[in-house]
């Protein structure tokens, strides 16, 4: 009977938490829809445009903070706040490097979060996973080599060549640690983030003169990546709390 009660409790908890999580995510969907409705990239740089662009990611930071607390400021919530800072910087083209620095710090915070105890129970490795790590690093290195001639033609090659190289290192590290967690949402979020940034680099450094719906692809994949990482982090926390509950029931 005790086992049946525990299973029923688990089902109720999963159903209730899923419904509550969806309600918490409504501001994200509403603010993202507003961003695409106003289509901020075509508007003049302004405080309003910066606020509209950053609002979806800030709403995700609020969700993570609500579930995990202030300690997540050194993890995914902090990464989301830094990403919002990057969003604001990229509204003004002359702040591109500062924006890239904000996103680099975000990837570092995500990486630190993926190394915490919430993910440790899922973090065993296998030959297949090591092969996937190798593919990630080879692909990232290949992308950087592909971009290198265009970086050298940029207005400040002495800055962009090492800066983009360092950024590529941090984002592939984040994606590798996301894969290490073995949590599908987190892994997919890391990979989609790489796709978003690669698409942005193709356009910003004039690798392609014109990419149909290029800005739409960048922002859709960007918001999707942040959503997946945030939900994955919340679910990892709920799973950890569930394990603690089972331990308490057995004691």
Sequence ranges of the domains in the chain: 2-250
Question: How far is the C-alpha of 25 from the C-alpha of 185, rounded, in Å?
Answer: 15
pLDDT (tens digit per residue) in 54-66: 999 999 999 999 9
The predicted model gives 12-30 an average pLDDT of 80
pLDDT (tens digit per residue) in 69-112: 888 999 999 999 999 999 999 999 999 999 999 999 999 999 99
Question: How far is the C-alpha of 80 from the C-alpha of 238, rounded, in Å?
Answer: 19
Question: How far is the C-alpha of 100 from the C-alpha of 111, rounded, in Å?
Answer: 17
* Mean residue pLDDT across the chain: 88
- Its pTM stands at 0.88
pLDDT at 249 > cutoff 70: no
Helix axes 184-204, 214-250, angle to 10 degrees: 160
Question: How far is the C-alpha of 80 from the C-alpha of 68, rounded, in Å?
Answer: 14
Residue with tokens 């692909």: 139
Residues 6+ apart with CB under 8 A from 149: none
pLDDT (tens digit per residue) in 151-209: 999 989 999 999 999 999 999 999 999 999 999 999 999 999 999 999 999 999 989 87
Residue with tokens 């592909």: 146
Q: What is residue 35's three-state secondary structure?
A: helix
Please write down the long-range contacts of 69-78, taking CB distance under 8 Å and 24 or more positions apart. 72/113, 72/233, 74/109, 74/112, 74/113, 75/109, 75/110, 75/112, 75/113, 75/116, 75/233, 76/109, 76/110, 76/113, 76/229, 76/230, 76/233, 78/106, 78/109
pLDDT (tens digit per residue) in 161-175: 999 999 999 999 999
pLDDT-derived band at 4 (thresholds 50, 70, 90) equals very low
Question: How far is the C-alpha of 122 from the C-alpha of 232, rounded, in Å?
Answer: 13
């Amino acid at each position: 009977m005790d086992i049946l009660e525990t299973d029923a409790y688990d089902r109720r908890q999963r159903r209730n938490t899923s419904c509550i999580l969806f309600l918490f995510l409504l501001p994200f969907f509403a603010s993202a829809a507003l961003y695409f409705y106003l289509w901020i990239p075509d508007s003049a740089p302004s405080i309003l445009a910066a606020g509209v662009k950053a609002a979806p990611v800030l709403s995700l930071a609020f969700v993570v903070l609500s579930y995990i607390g202030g300690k997540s400021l050194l993890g995914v919530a902090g990464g989301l706040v830094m990403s919002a800072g990057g969003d604001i910087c990229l509204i003004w083209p002359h702040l591109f490097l500062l924006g890239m620095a904000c996103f680099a710090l975000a990837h570092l915070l995500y990486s630190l979060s993926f190394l915490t105890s919430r993910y440790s129970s899922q973090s065993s490795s296998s030959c297949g996973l090591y092969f996937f790590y190798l593919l990630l690093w080879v692909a990232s290195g290949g992308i950087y080599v592909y971009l290198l001639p265009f970086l050298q033609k940029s207005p400040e090659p002495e800055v962009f060549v090492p800066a983009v190289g360092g950024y590529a290192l941090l984002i592939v590290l984040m994606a590798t640690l996301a894969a290490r967690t073995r949590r599908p949402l987190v892994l997919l979020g890391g990979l989609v983030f790489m796709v978003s940034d690669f698409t942005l680099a193709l356009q910003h450094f004039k690798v392609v003169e014109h990419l149909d719906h290029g800005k739409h692809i960048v922002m859709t994949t960007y918001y999707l990546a942040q959503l997946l990482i945030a939900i994955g982090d919340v679910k990892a926390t709920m799973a950890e709390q569930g394990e603690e509950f089972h331990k308490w029931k057995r004691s």
